[in-house]
Amino acid sequence: MSSFKEANQVRIALKMKLSNFAWYTASGVFNLEDGFGVVVTVKQIDNVVRKNVPPVIDGVSIKVEQE
């Protein structure tokens, strides 16, 4: 279970890391049943995206979706 503050800190860290990639579009915090998570929006989902976006960071769930 993660708080909004923890999820937002992970979102900002991911944004700093992923903003250099052309496939990165946006990121945001979303509500889960047991806390908050981060959604990363990309132009395409492929192996490069899967390699650079982990499913969990510091207990915060990361979801990848295509625009």
User: Contact 35/54 with Cβ under 8 angstroms?
Assistant: no
Q: Where are the domains of the chain?
A: 4-66
User: Contact 41/49 with Cβ under 8 angstroms?
Assistant: no
12-67 pLDDT tens trace: 999 999 999 999 999 999 999 989 999 999 999 999 999 999 999 999 999 999 98
Return the number of other C-beta atoms located less than 10 Å from residue 2's C-beta: 22
CATH of domain 4-66: 3.30.300
Res 1: pLDDT? 78
* Helix or strand run (H / E) with residue 26: strand 24-32
Q: Tell me the pTM.
A: 0.90
Residue listed under structure tokens 């929006």: 41
